[in-house]
Amino acid sequence: MIEGKDLRVYFKTRDVEVRALDGVSVAVKEKEIVGVVGESGSGKTTLGRTLLNLQRPVGGEVLWNGKNVFKLRGREEREFRRRNQIIYQNPYEAIDIRLKVYDVIAEGIRVHRLASNKEEEKEMVMNALRDVGLNPEEEYAYSLPNQLSGGQLQRVAIARALVLNPTFIVADEPVSMLDMSVRAGILEIFQRQREEKGTEILMITHDISTLGYIADRIYVMYQGKVIEHGSADALLEKPLHPYTQALITAVPIPDPSERAKLFSVKIKEKEEEYNGKGCKYYPRCPFAMQSCREKEPELKGVSSDHYVACYLY
């Protein structure tokens, strides 16, 4: 289980301070697939990187099975690095394209000394390729990355992570660069991994419709804050925050009139600048009230598995 508590990450560029994470708490519990959704710049990637100790926060802590990950050293830190993996959006950037696929995958096995000899190493590499649906695996193993399609290369990136037997994976927009036709196949690998190995997964996306198929719970982020979270069923069937409703309205579905009947909430054109103290969403919210301008709403439970930060509730 991995848990981020009150995480704060601030970036300073020139004179502007961006609060990429402004007091974010999340938990990924045993065997869960948890979705994080929000538009570009809402802090999703920063959250994933902070949970994996790839980004140091200025405040808050990350607990991995109860241990503060920023204090891990030596053997425990190496164990953390192995057991917690990230899959990036763009496999061409994530993979050293000069290496053969075999070596891309074997690299981690070697770093963490997981195989006692070459034969065992080869077996692990070939199993990993099979697990992600790349067969005949011998053929893929000795290819160069630029001989593969984007979808195949993303499978290699996933194999490279899976071969280390991770207990937690951050999948940061793993299919958004890929053709529609190959997306479902990639998402299935994560689902199978969770079912067969119990791997916990944080699935980052700007497309809330992906999460309906795959996530148990969903966090919705807006400008460095979690503004709503809950079970995927509760959140998708009864989204409460006007921003979540707008995200769902924006999903293209075959019959838009059906969806529009459910919610026709749109994000408003920004007519005023954020005043630094109210709800961060009020300049774009069609329901903004005076209280929204005065104080930021806190997350509040509306049921045991659904929380929202909005004065409408």
Cα–Cα distances in angstroms (integers) from residue 295 to residues 177, 200, 223, 230, 279, in the given order: 38, 35, 16, 23, 6
CB of 15 to ligand ATP, least distance (A): 13
E strand or H helix at 36, and its extent? strand 33-37
State both tokens at 162: 């899976």
Does 20 bind ligand ATP (CB under 6 A)? Our answer is yes
The count of other CB atoms within 10 Å of the CB of residue 89 is 18
Distance (Å, whole) CA 80 – CA 65: 10
Q: What is the DSSP letter of 216?
A: S
Task: Check residue 117 for interaction with ligand ATP (CB under 6 A).
Answer: no
Q: Report which of 99, 85, 75, 24 is spatially closest to residue 299, judged by C-alpha positions.
A: 24
Structure tokens at 139: 């053929």
Contact flag: residue 14 with ligand ATP (CB under 6 A): no
Q: Which is nearer to ligand ATP, 38 or 239 (CB)?
A: 38
Question: Which of residues 1, 18, 63, 302 is near ligand ATP by CB under 6 A?
Answer: 18
Scanning 33-41, 105-113, 117-125, 143-151 for contacts with ligand ATP by CB under 6 A, the matching segment is 33-41
Applying CB under 6 A, does 41 fall inside the site for ligand ATP? Answer: yes
- Binding ligand ATP by CB under 6 A: which of 46, 152, 193, 245? 46
Closest contact distance (angstroms) between CB of 16 and ligand ATP is 9
Which of 116, 122, 72, 80 shows the shortest CA–CA distance to 100? Answer: 122
40 versus 290: smaller Cβ distance to ligand ATP: 40
Strand, coil or helix: what is 121? Answer: helix
Asked if 27 contacts 3 with a C-beta cutoff of 8 angstroms, the reply is yes
The verdict on 4 binding ligand ATP (CB under 6 A) reads: no
- Count residues near ligand ATP (CB under 6 A): 13
Among 15, 16, 30, 40, binds ligand ATP (CB under 6 A): 40
* Interface with ligand ATP, residue 174, by CB under 6 A: no
Query: Tokens representing 20?
Result: 């990429």
Q: Which of 81, 206, 238, 293 binds ligand ATP (CB under 6 A)?
A: 206
The residue ranges that bind ligand ATP (CB under 6 A) are 11, 13, 18, 20, 38, 40-46, 206
